[in-house]
Structure 1
Amino acid sequence: MKFPLLLSAICALALMASAFAADPSIETIARSSGTPDIPGLKMVWLAPWGDVEKAHPWANIIVHRTEGPAGSARGGALAQSKNPTRRGVMIWVETDGTVYWAVADNLVPTHTDGGDRNDNKYIDNSKTYHRVNKDTSIGVEFAGNYPDVTRPATDAQVAAWRILVKVLCARYRIPLDHVYAHNWIDFKDARYCEGCALANMAREWGE
């Protein structure tokens, strides 16, 4: 290789190394405050992050499906941000993968029916009964399964979820085996298993 080409290659590698060094890890971003840019996520911040040490002591993540049409996540998130403790969740995910962070993480939205499933149909409910509920769990809603409730999450939603679940687990020190589908912890619509595919994905990604 001629010297100018070699020098050029060395400079390029140095720039790449510098860029990687300057790029904060998911862990660093997740533990920060404000409205950080999260690589790979299109995040709409309706409520900024505060000091993570002052956040509610979240121990679980519950995956929901809104049974709303494509485009409904934004409206749900906006309504939630205006009334944070209403029936709903902290985070909403649109079919195009846009993530709406609707509620400050020191507040507790009303979601789940109290973790009242106790039949061990999907998981061992002795560990979840009345323990995995709104007071201990972050709710994440995925829009777009109306009118067909069995419609799966879109590829864009799955791609966003792959990053989002890492962020949530890193920020609140939640292990991936504490990611639950709504149907796993509450008696829900018998027509489909709400959140099950997405919860299973998250757990599998951690294996």
Structure 2
Amino acid sequence: MGRLVLLLICLVTGGAPVAAQSFTSLEAAARASGTPDIPGLNMVWLVPWGDRADANLWHSIIVHQTEGPAGSAYRGALRQARDPEGQGTTIWVETDGTVYWAVGEWATPKHVRHSGNRNDNKYIDNGDTFRLTPNNNSIGIEFAGNYPNVRKPVTDAQVEAWRILVRVLQIRYGIPTDRIFAHNWVDYKDRRYCEGCALATMARTQGAEIALQKTTE
């Protein structure tokens, strides 16, 4: 009887060992539907996740920073929920690290005005981004709190939330590390500061470290 059960499990899993099909708690949460508890993340769901197969085909992640004051992320997310494809982003991050998921995974908020019009290679090679990061394939994250000084860095709480959030997005949508961009990397933006650059660099470094760790295990 035990052999029969094992055989059935192997058939269901395509012959792979059961252990190979197990996920970490973060990976399991990233593949869930509804409003899962994501380890280490204070996520406020204004709209729940649906089936991953029904989500938009997100190819890239673009990091933004808004000049809103501390406490403005919730208001921005609520406004976005009322107008899913209006100006803004899918995800908003408050200065205390709270993450607001504002719209359905199918929606494409307007957060990249020119579909990636930067072509000067100032920050990255723009050969793969020039006019190729439109709203319909790039999921946007907005970090609040750099008012009135746009050069004010994000908070430690936002950094910690970002480290987890970016992994969740990569796992859920299969986005590689080299498709994580700062807004300033792909669009000509405010010259006073580099919008999203520190966060995007951090995520790419983290992704490279995770990849290296996996190859040495």
Give the TM-score category using the shorter length.
0.7 to 0.9
- Superposition deviation, residue 135 in structure 1: 1.4
Give runs of ≥4 in structure 1 deviating > 6 Å: none
Deviates more, 1:137-146 or 1:126-135: 126-135
Q: Deviations over 1:170-196 (max 9, x none)?
A: 000001111100000000000000000
Identify if the C-alpha distance between structure 1 residues 118 and 23 changes in structure 2 by more than 3 Å, giving closer, same or farther. Answer: closer
Letter in 1 for 2:195: E
- Which runs of 5 or more structure 2 residues have no equivalent in the other structure? 1-21, 209-217
Q: How many corresponding residue pairs?
A: 186
Once residues 60 and 23 of structure 2 are traced to their aligned partners in structure 1, the CA distance between those partners, rounded to angstroms, is: 28
Please give the secondary structure, in 1, of the residue aligned with 2:29.
helix
Query: Is contact 2:25-2:39 (8 Å) kept?
Result: no
Partner of 1:183: 184
Partner of 2:97: 97
TM-score (norm 2): 0.84
Partner of 1:156: 157
Once residues 24 and 183 of structure 1 are traced to their aligned partners in structure 2, the CA distance between those partners, rounded to angstroms, is: 34
- Superposition deviation, residue 24 in structure 1: 4.8
TM-score (norm 1): 0.88
- Superposition deviation, residue 167 in structure 1: 0.2
Partner of 2:43: 43
Once residues 145 and 55 of structure 1 are traced to their aligned partners in structure 2, the CA distance between those partners, rounded to angstroms, is: 31
**Structure 2 counterparts to residues 1-207 of structure 1, below 5 A:** 24-113=24-113, 114-207=115-208
Query: Is contact 1:26-1:170 (8 Å) kept?
Result: no
Once residues 99 and 143 of structure 1 are traced to their aligned partners in structure 2, the CA distance between those partners, rounded to angstroms, is: 11
- Superposition deviation, residue 133 in structure 1: 2.1
Question: Once superposed, what is the RMSD of the aligned Cα atoms?
Answer: 1.2
- Which runs of 5 or more structure 1 residues have no equivalent in the other structure? 1-21
Once residues 69 and 145 of structure 1 are traced to their aligned partners in structure 2, the CA distance between those partners, rounded to angstroms, is: 6
